């Protein structure tokens, strides 16, 4: 055998680091409208190439084009724009509240608003999301009260979770929003289990699993795919690829597979990639996947290609690991600007109305914030009692916890 | 005991259609220990089915099903294989009620054969109960006989919170007392092998005194209940043997009453000594019974080594080792 020389260890690196010029020339972007829309009954083997393309509806001119366009009315699109603007405004205020010491921690959605806001509108009442920490748009777009979200963020006396959970780890069964764990990927297989239960019960409800690019490396992601595939669970398997897992670029989790969507192919799961900054495309693909699930055709994997413009969390500073201007260079643009331009192009919106809406939304968010702060913030005002700490560990408090509560004197 | 466990699932599935059973080899074949034999044929593939070899998948999907409203009773083939599911159990199942303030709950049972004595080596012999008793939000049950196994399992399935149900596999076929050189009496010839038909429960969190005595209290569970009985008989020491049955929540009242009466306490388990459940028991006895104690609380346990294969009986805390501890405790 020929001498192959020394083995070399390979560690992938992003194209650019701080100080460099942002470069996304390696990201291949399909032309808007160019990816076909198959019937939901399609044989998964016939659409394997969709795991490597990007479904897009909005083109550079702001027009909705191609076979995935035309599902939403102007009113629905205006509502969607309002949801995304609300989420962005909410994020800005809460990020600031964290900086002011009103809470310990915050995570914003900047640049990713379309993914959760548009997805929510593809589901039906009773369906269940198993979200990560960056899908608050699911709540906003479903009309969950902002004040309640803020009460949770502030861990105040009106926090529905009694101060037990880290800020933004919401839970609302009523709004189809499973309790956020904070551990990564665990909820992915739970979503599949929920969907299996719906099928076992001959119900009509479907589940949606959520995960980020980095966490797809967890074994729970793979358990979820094999269970979903084996039992043809009525679940939409969402992967939000926002390019960054804290400081780690997506190439570390992705390895050599080309795309995250391609992970589904080995399981025989139809796998689509979509422009995550295109509200119309996200909604259309989510609708397609939800319809497959509801028609008993099984799971669909959807990779949303987007970009995390903000920091990972309030504890993170991205300038330490990526160029500051990288988000400006991101080739898929900003989801709010793109939908705004589309609506202007359609003649149902204007720059003036947009500016006015921004001001109105900010006012609503501030009013909600005032209301929430009347019930306290993390270190000031009303807060959950120390007694609450001992409640709810079990349905019925066992003797050892009763003793400890007594010992704590609460 | 296998039949009793199967019967518990059968009764529960018949009474409540939300109860479903799944795991590796559990469906068509009925489980490697045959605990689920016949359930698929009786209740159909939607309620009893085989899964991929993925413990995190089994428990993770069960959590999602419980959140939906079903009551999954899943099998992990050996307790030694539960570790891939540990995150799902500790971070998810145990905390779901608490973290969501009751918005979502997790009424699941995770059954698994535990303990050694079958020449299973390090991967078929472990007793990981302390890894679960350390977790708030879980209940941990270890039955020692068919009657209890059925009643406790039905109670576990009906419980609104997650229950870890550890089945001492050396007891599946009879009350093994550590005398591996002798044949084991089958359950059919033991009074606790008598299992009532139909529905009944043995409440979680309640211990039982297996042998009343005045000299020393032995705290045991699972296989060690019979090892303790043999040790008491062979040393002639009038030991009061408590079968804990549920480790979490623990029946402290029964323990304290007994130790306050006898003034001496020996704790025995098959799991490794350091940070084992015996450490908790020993600390509790010391905290609650200190002024009644006439001797230090002794612990007899598996050595702090991986479970060996050829040296199984050097490792296993049998009646001779426990007997020595009883004698030392009486002399102290």
* CA nearest to A174, candidates A212, A144, A208: A144
Q: Assess whether pLDDT exceeds 80 at residue A3.
A: no
Other CB atoms closer than 10 Å to residue B276's CB: what's the count? 22
Low-confidence ranges of chain B (pLDDT < 50): none
Contact residues, chain B, for A162 at CB < 8 Å: 101
- Pick from B20, B48, B51, B60 the residue to mutate for testing the A interface (most A CBs within 10 Å): B60
Per-residue pLDDT reduced to its tens digit, A145-179:
999 999 999 999 999 999 999 999 999 999 999 99
State residue A1's pLDDT score: 58
Residue A2 has pLDDT above 70, yes or no: no
Domain boundaries, chain B: 2-193, 208-331
Work out the average pLDDT over A379-393: 95
* Cβ <8 Å between A181 and B62: no
> What's the pLDDT at B121?
95
Of B69, B88, B249, the CB nearest to A400: B249
User: What ipTM was assigned to the predicted interfaces of this complex?
Assistant: 0.97
Closest listed residue to residue A364, CA positions, set A111, A149, A72: A149
Q: Which of B99, B136, B253 is the closest to A165 by Cβ?
A: B99
Residues 63-92 on B with a CB inside 8 Å of A are 63-65, 67-70, 84, 87-88, 91-92
Which of A167, A174, A193 is best to mutate for the B interface (most B CBs within 10 A)?
A193
Report the chain A residue with the minimal C-alpha distance to residue B48: A200
Closest Cβ–Cβ partner in A220, A230, A392 for B60: A220
> CA-nearest residue of chain B to A127?
B68
Distance CA A261, CA A346 (A): 32
Same fold, B2-193 and B208-331: yes
Sign of CA dihedral A338, A339, A340, A344: positive
Q: In terms of C-beta density within 10 A (0-12 exposed, 13-18 middle, 19 or more buried), how is residue A208 classed?
A: buried
Give the architecture-level CATH label for domain B208-331.
Answer: 3-Layer(aba) Sandwich (3.40)
- CA A193 to chain B, closest CA, distance in angstroms equals 4
pLDDT category of residue A365 using cuts at 50, 70 and 90: very high
Nearest to A214 by CA among A93, A117, A133, A334: A133
- Per-residue pLDDT, A26: 83
Q: For the residues A190-219, what does the mean pLDDT come to?
A: 98
Interchain CB contact of B136 with A (< 8 Å): yes
**What is the average pLDDT across A281-309?**
98
Sign of the alpha-carbon torsion through A263, A265, A269, A274: positive
Q: What is the mean pLDDT of the segment spanning A261-276?
A: 98
Domain-wise residue ranges, chain A? 44-379
Please, what CATH class does the domain formed by B2-193 belong to?
A: alpha beta
Is the CATH number of domain A44-379 3.20.10.10?
no
pLDDT of residue B271: 98
């Amino acid at each position: 055998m020929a001498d192959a020389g020394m083995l070399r260890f390979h560690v992938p690196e992003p194209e650019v680091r701080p100080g460099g010029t942002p470069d996304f020339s390696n990201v291949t972007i399909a032309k808007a409208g160019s990816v076909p829309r198959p019937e939901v009954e399609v044989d998964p083997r016939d659409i394997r190439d969709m795991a490597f393309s990007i479904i897009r509806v909005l083109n550079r001119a702001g027009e909705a084009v191609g076979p995935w366009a035309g599902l939403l009315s102007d009113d629905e699109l205006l509502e969607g724009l309002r949801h995304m603007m609300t989420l962005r405004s909410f994020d800005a205020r809460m990020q600031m509240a964290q900086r002011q010491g009103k809470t310990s921690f915050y995570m914003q959605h900047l640049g990713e608003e379309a993914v959760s806001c548009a997805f929510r509108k593809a589901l039906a009442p009773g369906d269940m999301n198993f979200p990560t920490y960056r899908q608050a748009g699911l709540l906003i777009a479903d009309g969950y009260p902002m004040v309640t979200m803020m009460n949770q963020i502030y861990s105040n006396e009106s926090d529905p979770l009694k101060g037990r959970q880290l800020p933004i780890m919401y839970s609302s069964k009523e709004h189809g929003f499973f309790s956020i764990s904070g551990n990564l990927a665990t909820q992915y297989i739970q979503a599949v289990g929920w969907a299996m239960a719906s099928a076992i019960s001959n119900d009509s409800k479907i589940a949606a699993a959520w995960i980020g690019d980095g966490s797809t490396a967890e074994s729970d992601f793979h358990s979820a795919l094999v269970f979903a595939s084996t039992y043809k669970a009525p679940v939409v398997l969402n992967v939000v690829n926002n390019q960054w897992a804290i400081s780690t670029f997506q190439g570390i989790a992705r390895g050599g597979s080309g795309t995250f969507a391609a992970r589904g192919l080995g399981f025989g799961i139809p796998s689509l990639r979509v422009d995550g900054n295109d509200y119309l495309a996200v909604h259309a693909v989510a609708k397609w996947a939800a319809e497959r699930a509801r028609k008993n055709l099984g799971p669909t994997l959807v990779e949303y290609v987007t970009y995390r413009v903000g920091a990972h969390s309030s504890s993170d500073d991205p300038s330490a690991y990526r160029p500051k201007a990288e988000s400006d260079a991101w080739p898929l643009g900003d989801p709010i600007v793109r939908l705004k331009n589309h609506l202007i192009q359609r003649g149902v919106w204007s720059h003036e109305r947009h500016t006015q809406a921004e001001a109105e939304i900010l006012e609503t968010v501030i009013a909600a914030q005032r209301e929430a702060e009347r019930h306290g913030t993390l270190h000031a005002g009303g807060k959950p009692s120390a007694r609450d700490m001992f409640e709810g560990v079990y349905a019925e408090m066992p003797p050892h916890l009763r003793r400890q509560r007594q010992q704590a004197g609460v | 005991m296998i039949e009793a466990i199967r019967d518990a699932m059968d009764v529960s599935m018949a009474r409540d259609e939300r109860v479903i059973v799944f795991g590796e080899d559990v469906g068509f074949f009925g489980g490697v220990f045959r605990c689920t034999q016949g359930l698929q044929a009786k209740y159909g593939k939607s309620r009893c089915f085989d899964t991929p070899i993925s413990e995190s998948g089994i428990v993770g999907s069960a959590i999602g099903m419980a959140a939906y409203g079903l009551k999954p009773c899943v099998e992990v083939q050996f307790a030694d294989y539960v570790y891939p599911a540990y995150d799902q159990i500790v971070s998810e199942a145990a905390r779901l009620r608490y973290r969501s303030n009751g918005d979502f709950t997790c009424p699941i049972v995770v059954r698994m054969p535990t303990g050694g004595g079958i020449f299973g080596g390090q991967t078929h012999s472990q007793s990981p109960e302390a890894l679960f008793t350390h977790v708030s939000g879980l209940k941990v049950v270890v039955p020692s006989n068919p009657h209890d196994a059925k009643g406790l399992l039905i109670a576990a399935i009906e419980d609104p919170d997650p229950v870890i149900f550890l089945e001492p596999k050396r007891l599946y076929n009879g009350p093994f007392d550590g005398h591996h050189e002798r044949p084991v009496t089958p359950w059919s010839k033991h009074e606790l092998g008598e299992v009532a038909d139909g529905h009944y429960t043995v409440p979680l969190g309640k211990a039982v005194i297996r042998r009343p005595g005045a000299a020393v209290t032995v705290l045991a569970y699972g296989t060690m209940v019979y090892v303790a009985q043999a040790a008491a008989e062979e040393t002639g020491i009038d030991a009061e043997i408590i079968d804990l049955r549920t480790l979490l929540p623990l029946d402290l009242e029964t323990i304290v009453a007994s130790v306050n009466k006898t003034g001496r306490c020996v704790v025995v388990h098959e799991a490794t000594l350091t940070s084992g459940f015996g450490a908790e028991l020993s600390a509790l006895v010391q905290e609650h019974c200190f002024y009644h104690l006439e001797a230090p609380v002794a612990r007899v346990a598996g050595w702090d080594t991986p479970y060996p294969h050829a040296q199984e009986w050097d490792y296993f805390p049998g009646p001779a080792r426990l007997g020595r501890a009883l004698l030392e405790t009486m002399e102290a």
